Structure 1
Amino acid sequence: MEATVSNFHYGAVTPVAAFLMACLGAALGLRCTTRAIRRGTNRVGWLALGAVSIGCGIWTMHFIAMAGFTIDGLSMQYDSATTVLSLVVAIAVVAVGVFLVGFRGTGTAVLATAGVFTGLGVAAMHYLGMAAMHSPGELRYSSLTVALSILIAVVAATAALWAAVSVHGLGASLGASLIMGVAVTGMHYTGMAAVDIPVDHHGAGTQSSAGMMSFLLVMLVGPLAALIMSAVIVMFDGDAMLGADEPGPRSSVPVPGRAVAGQGGPASHHHPGT
């Protein structure tokens, strides 16, 4: 007997909220990574913050989306330890990719290696999160759809890393984060489309929607706090918030009224407002 499976128990609320969280994490991560690469100062700290932002964004996207996942109208129970482990995996694999491009450059081989590793890690986070779920029956997956979801994850991760090292303007980064939100959310729902759950009896291992929401709120406290902290740091750092005309790490921003090295007069070529 097949169970009635739904990914949209609350309608558009969970997919829209999941998409916005993925976009937020991507946007913050891109600005942090751009700040690290373009300026060079405190590179390790900014790359780490970027990895935490992207990892937490992906993870919160996953579990907000899972809040709308039901079997026969009932929400799932989750193993807390495995759920937290999936968060650690998400941050760790993103960190590997971010630090690779942050320190090894933007070559095709480096970008491809970092993208593949990070994409596989994101997929591992997704399916590890699924493994944390107590379902009334054994989860079965369509191999073809799983492979498609992994491919989407790899492409999305590679695109995110490419954007981090190639897209420097604030507006362009926001656009890239929207594309990343679509890709990461699409990967999630593609993975969910691969799930088939035959059940012998109803209700085993399930809980009420209220119980699921309580679990979700507890699990989201840490990642949401990390994203808020990252947003505050980015907002109050002028270098991280610079637009498309931001200079590279080796260039200097002339100060109005101060002579430029090697010139006798004031920095007359300085652009107003920068």
Structure 2
Amino acid sequence: MIDHFALGWVTPVLSFLLSCAGCAVGLTCTARARVAHGFASVAWLGLGAISIGGTGIWVMHFVAMLGFYVRGTETRFDVPLTLASGLLAIVVVGLGLFIVRTAGVGPVALVAGGLITGLGIAAMHYLGMRALHVGVEITYDIPTVIASVIIGVVAATAGLWLSAKVRNFAAGAGATVIMGLAVSGMHYTGMAAMRAEETNAIMPIDTGIGVGALLGPLIIGVTVSTIMMLLVVGLAPSPQEMEAQEKFKGWQGRQDELQRETAAPRRSQLL
């Protein structure tokens, strides 16, 4: 009765690519956050949370959901709950990134950040599913739900570790694929937990919006936000350039201090 691939392989492949794109941009932002200081570091972490939580996780979820179909029913989405799930994804990823940025990548920080982020991502997934209306009762297989939550926590922990460690293109490309596979794996494991009872009594749906109405704004929003994020990342100095600038500032400060120390005895002699 439930078909998760009603549009064939288009939705899983496209959702995976979008997840990789969001995670890739997010990793470049977190790399800059490690080098920056103060507000600049916080801003880069915020952009990383938007990229990973927004595009890498939430957008992936709803693009994959476009292939979801229950035979004989119409799929509609509750807009407020849908938007709330997106905000939740960004917030929990942001919390995890800030924990690791502040406390480092030690076991305690990774476990704490991974639990918060992983459980939040799982909550985002099932909140997004709560926003789905198909006219029949949907139930869940509890062991599979637990498996999806475990995958979410493990994936979040690995993602936080990668966000603090990735420093070159090759490592970034590998991390992007790993994170994309982890997010997709968590999503489809959660979807596999769904059960819909065979029934002829399909309830009429008069709330929410249909897939067609959701698709247009989703495509426009993803396109505009992705272009803006790419522009910000492309125009900003690379992490290596930012690190070189910081080293130069430190060297320049030491030179200025040395000059002041050298000039002080000379002034005292003149006096």
Q: Which category describes the TM-score, using the shorter chain as reference length?
A: 0.7 to 0.9
For 2:183, the equivalent position in structure 1 comes to 184
Structure 1 pair 236–191 and aligned structure 2 pair: CA distance change class (3 A): same
Q: Contact conserved, 2:137 with 2:197, CA < 8 A, in 1? A: yes
2:35 to 33, 38, 41: 38
**Which is worse superposed, 154-163 or 73-82?**
73-82
Q: Aligned residue for 2:19?
A: 22
Correspondence list, 1:136-215, <5 A: 136-201=135-200, 204-205=203-204, 211-215=210-214
Q: Pick from 46, 49, 61: which aligns with 1:48?
A: 46
Q: Offset of 1:180 from its aligned partner?
A: 0.4
Per-residue CA deviation, residues 29-64 of structure 1 (Å, 9 max, x unaligned), is 111011101333610110000001111121110000
Note the aligned Cα RMSD (angstroms).
2.7
SS, match of residue 53 in structure 1: helix
C-alpha change, 1:62 and 1:120, in structure 2 (3 Å) is: same
Extract unaligned runs of 5+ from structure 2.
257-271
Letter of the 1:118 counterpart: T
CA distance in 2, matches of 1:126, 1:235: 31
Aligned to 2:215: 216
Distance of 1:235 and 1:250 partners within structure 2: 19
Contact 1:69 1:75 in 2 (8 A): no
Taking the aligned partners of 2:246 and 2:115, their CA distance within structure 1 comes to: 30
Classify 1:145/1:254 alpha carbon distance in 2 versus 1 (closer, same or farther; 3 Å): same
Cα separation, 1, equivalents of 2:204 and 2:234? 43
Whether the 8 Å contact between 1:39 and 1:248 is mirrored in structure 2 is: no
Q: How far does residue 74 in structure 1 lie from its aligned partner after superposition?
A: 4.7
SS of the equivalent of 1:140 reads: strand
- Mapped to 2, the partners of 1:166 and 1:199 lie a distance apart of 49
CA distance in 2, matches of 1:70, 1:95: 32
Counterpart for residue 119 of structure 1: 118
AA partner of residue 195 (structure 2): D
Offset of 1:201 from its aligned partner?
2.3
- Aligned in 2, Cα 1:12/1:184: closer, same or farther, shift over 3 Å? same
Identify which of 237, 247, 250 aligns with 1:251: 247
SS of 1:96 mapped into structure 2:
helix
Number of the residue aligned with 1:91: 90
Structure 1: give runs of 5+ residues left out of the alignment: 263-274
Instruction: Name the aligned partner's letter for residue 81 of structure 1.
Output: P
SS of 1:251's equivalent in the other structure is helix
1:65/1:107 CA distance change after superposition, 3 Å? same
**Structure 1 residue aligned with 2:65:** 66
How far has the Cα of 1:217 moved from its partner? 2.3
Q: Normalized per residue, which structure has more helix?
A: 2
After superposition, the Cα gap between the structure-2 partners of 1:75 and 1:238, relative to the gap in structure 1 and judged at 3 Å, is farther
* Letter of the 2:26 counterpart: G
The count of aligned residue pairs is 251
Q: Which residue of 2 aligns with 1:272?
A: none
Identity of aligned residues (%): 41
Distance 1:94 1:205, change over 3 A: farther
- Change beyond 3 A, Cα 1:249–1:119: farther
In structure 1, give the amino acid aligned to 2:226: L
* TM-score with structure 2 setting the length: 0.84
Distance verdict in 2 for CA 1:187–1:235, change over 3 Å: same
Q: Is the 8 A contact 1:97 1:114 kept in 2?
A: yes
Task: For 1:75 and 1:29, locate their aligned partners in 2 and report how far apart those are by CA, in whole Å.
Answer: 35
Once residues 205 and 164 of structure 1 are traced to their aligned partners in structure 2, the CA distance between those partners, rounded to angstroms, is: 45
Range with greater deviation from structure 2 (56-65 or 198-207) = 198-207
Separation in structure 1 between the aligned mates of residue 232 and residue 143 of structure 2, nearest angstrom: 42
Give the SS at the match of 1:22: helix
